[in-house]
Amino acid sequence: MSDIGARAVVLGGSMAGVLAARVLAESYREVLVIDRDKLLGVRESRRGAPHTVHAHGLHARGHLIMEELFPDLTAELSSAGVPTGDLGEMRWFFNARRLQPARTGLISVTAPRPVLEHHVRTRVAALPNVTFLEQCDILGLAATADRERVVGVRVQRRVEGAVPEVLDADLVVDTTGRGSRTPAWLAELGYDRPAEEKVKVGLAYTTCHYRTRPEWFDGVQSINPVASPAHPRGAFFGQVGRDLCILSLTGVLGDYPPTEMGAFLEFVRSLPVPDVYEAVRDAEPLDEPVSFRFPASVRRRYERLTRFPDRLLVMGDAACSFNPVYGQGMSVAAIEAVTLRGHLRLGAPPAPLRFLADVAKVIDTPWDISAGGDLDFPGVEGRRTLKVRMGNAYMARLQYAATKDPAITDGFMRVAGLIDPPESLMRPGMLLRVLRHAVRRPEPGESWLTATPAAGTPVRPSV
Ligand SMILES: Cc1cc2nc3c(=O)[nH]c(=O)nc-3n(C[C@H](O)[C@H](O)[C@H](O)COP(=O)(O)OP(=O)(O)OC[C@H]3O[C@@H](n4cnc5c(N)ncnc54)[C@H](O)[C@@H]3O)c2cc1C
């Protein structure tokens, strides 16, 4: 362990927080993780992180980093009944057409998110210099008189008679998620707030669980009809335990999947492919559907500030909260943790603006993928630069071509899994493969409902 300081305090003990704590523990004598919820031993979704009840895939890059930070995590998860499988071998549908399955060698972990978090957190809590302060509200920051440097955190424990107190810190890392108060705290300290970029997608997830029937998945880990402009309703239907599966429906631009069971099933029936409906139409769900609204992706441009207090960093959804359908948030948090480790290995407390500039570089590509992809939906407001329009026109061709050629699925999954940069899809060999199948932007796949001759007798579109 290098010794950069006495105590690092991590605000928020969800995924970004525990990953930050893991790397901070290599450099600080003590790491304190503070959260308003009870965390240790918890395997269920909790109040401070209600989104965790919905489908969460830990995709390639996040998986590789977590396996490196927590050796044998995949084996541990597998023995706990968590499905892991090849990202390219899932049943992916884009525009109602199934991608050719491809063996990519990249692992996707489809644990219930609270279970994944539990395993990772347990590993972090076992580190001798990491402590969790649970059920404690974070109220604000404490700074030096000249407000140049953060020196602690104001908190209030959730116990009767508790009063606000200040906990000293040599470094504070904000991982309190998209509701982070750092912009307001900066203003209180006399700094500018960061500029915010928003892409209003008006998304909602509605989720329930089922007892898996073996015939549903037919050897695949999950069935994912992904939303597209022509078919804006989508779903993630995946195995998350030995005989447990999750169904998360997604709707955009205010078309929220309902929570009433009959209407929920109607939404399933309206998906662009029949696979999910055929599975669950007569199945008994294990719980009532619950919904989570995600009005907009939000990117906070901390790196553009010219002044920032020393000893304060921001990571995870607090810095950028992506449209979750792209499955990037946990992987980005993992890449940021590795970025933090790089700064810590310089042997001094990270310089905030330099660190935040590096975090921005981590965010650039997944933001382009998610914000750019959202702008393909005509109803989503935003500036469609030439790069965005060309990128979306090419991606539609590429997704179609991937229904014919598994090598294209492989390349696509390497980019979606944040392993390869999007430019890899433009290399001459890939470009030729794509153009061989799709010189023009293909018409959207035919909806199985519009192809239905009579209600209740769906037919698969021939593609
Ligand atoms: C519906 C949905 C589906 C998603 N699916 C995927 C997916 O498939 N794959 C993927 O990689 N990512 C996915 N994500 C994104 C992923 O959940 C986040 O990127 C990830 O959780 C990292 O979040 P975080 O740790 O930064 O913040 P959060 O998970 O929001 O955690 C913030 C923590 O801070 C605590 N906190 C906040 N304020 C205070 C306070 N004042 N006092 C005390 N404690 C406080 C909260 O209790 C919480 O524990 C999804 C997100 C959503 C919304």
Predicted pLDDT of residue 462: 32
Cα separation, 340 vs 219, whole angstroms: 39
User: How far, in Å, are 304, 305, 310, 332, 371 from residue 195 at the CA level?
Assistant: 8, 8, 19, 20, 16
pLDDT exceeds 60 at position 109: yes
The full DSSP string for 152-215 is: EEEEEESSTT---EEEE-SEEEE--GGG--HHHHHHHTTPPPPEEEEEEEEEEEEEEEEEPPHH
pLDDT in tens, 279-299: 999 999 999 999 999 999 999
- To test the ligand 1 pocket, which listed residue (42, 51, 293) has its Cβ within 8 A of the most ligand atoms? 51
Mean pLDDT computed over 422-436: 96
pLDDT exceeds 90 at position 459: no
- Which atom from ligand 1 is nearest to the alpha carbon of 56? 8
Cα separation, 174 vs 348, whole angstroms: 19
- The residue among 384, 379, 373, 341 whose CA lies nearest residue 359 is 341
Contact assessment for residue 34 and residue 155, using Cβ atoms and an 8 Å cutoff: yes
Contact assessment for residue 390 and residue 425, using Cβ atoms and an 8 Å cutoff: no
Q: Tell me which residue has its CA closest to atom 11 in ligand 1.
A: 330
Mean pLDDT computed over 188-215: 97
Predicted pLDDT of residue 450: 47
Residue with more model confidence, 444 or 10: 10
Predicted pLDDT of residue 442: 79
Predicted pLDDT of residue 460: 36
pLDDT exceeds 50 at position 165: yes
Predicted pLDDT of residue 446: 57
Mean pLDDT computed over 123-144: 98
Cα separation, 24 vs 33, whole angstroms: 11
Mean pLDDT computed over 148-156: 98
Average pLDDT in the chain: 94
Mean pLDDT computed over 61-82: 97
> How much distance in Å is there from the Cα of 343 to the middle of ligand 1?
24
- Three-class SS of residue 222? strand
pLDDT exceeds 90 at position 463: no
pLDDT exceeds 90 at position 453: no
Residue at token pair 């790196």: 303
- To test the ligand 1 pocket, which listed residue (11, 15, 133, 135) has its Cβ within 8 A of the most ligand atoms? 15
Predicted pLDDT of residue 443: 78
Predicted pLDDT of residue 2: 84
Predicted pLDDT of residue 444: 73
Q: Tell me which residue has its CA closest to atom 17 in ligand 1.
A: 329
> How much distance in Å is there from the Cα of 197 to the middle of ligand 1?
19
> How much distance in Å is there from the Cα of 178 to the middle of ligand 1?
7
Q: Tell me which residue has its CA closest to atom 28 in ligand 1.
A: 177
> How much distance in Å is there from the Cα of 48 to the middle of ligand 1?
8
pLDDT exceeds 70 at position 250: yes
Q: Tell me which residue has its CA closest to atom 49 in ligand 1.
A: 14
Cα separation, 137 vs 459, whole angstroms: 53
Q: Which residues line ligand 1 at a C-beta cut-off of 6 Å? A: 12-17, 35-37, 48-49, 51, 54, 56-58, 62, 137-138, 175-177, 179, 205, 292, 294, 316-318, 324, 327-331, 333
pLDDT in tens, 306-349: 999 999 999 999 999 999 999 999 999 999 999 999 999 999 99
Predicted pLDDT of residue 1: 77
Q: Tell me which residue has its CA closest to atom 4 in ligand 1.
A: 324
pLDDT exceeds 80 at position 261: yes
pLDDT exceeds 90 at position 122: yes
Strand partners, 85: 108
In the chain, the percentage of residues whose pLDDT exceeds 70 is 96
> How much distance in Å is there from the Cα of 177 to the middle of ligand 1?
5
> How much distance in Å is there from the Cα of 325 to the middle of ligand 1?
14
> How much distance in Å is there from the Cα of 47 to the middle of ligand 1?
11
Structure confidence at residue 440 as a pLDDT band (50, 70, 90): confident
Mean pLDDT computed over 180-204: 98
Predicted pLDDT of residue 454: 38
Mean pLDDT computed over 258-279: 97
Residue 320 — left, alpha, or beta (φ > 0 → left; ψ -120 to 50 → alpha)? beta
Q: Tell me which residue has its CA closest to atom 27 in ligand 1.
A: 177
Q: How many CA atoms lie within 13 A of 274 on its CB side?
A: 15
Q: Tell me which residue has its CA closest to atom 5 in ligand 1.
A: 56
Q: Tell me which residue has its CA closest to atom 1 in ligand 1.
A: 51
Mean pLDDT computed over 351-369: 98
Predicted pLDDT of residue 104: 98
Residue 347: DSSP 8-state: T
Predicted pLDDT of residue 445: 62
Structure confidence at residue 447 as a pLDDT band (50, 70, 90): low
pLDDT exceeds 90 at position 393: yes
> How much distance in Å is there from the Cα of 67 to the middle of ligand 1?
20
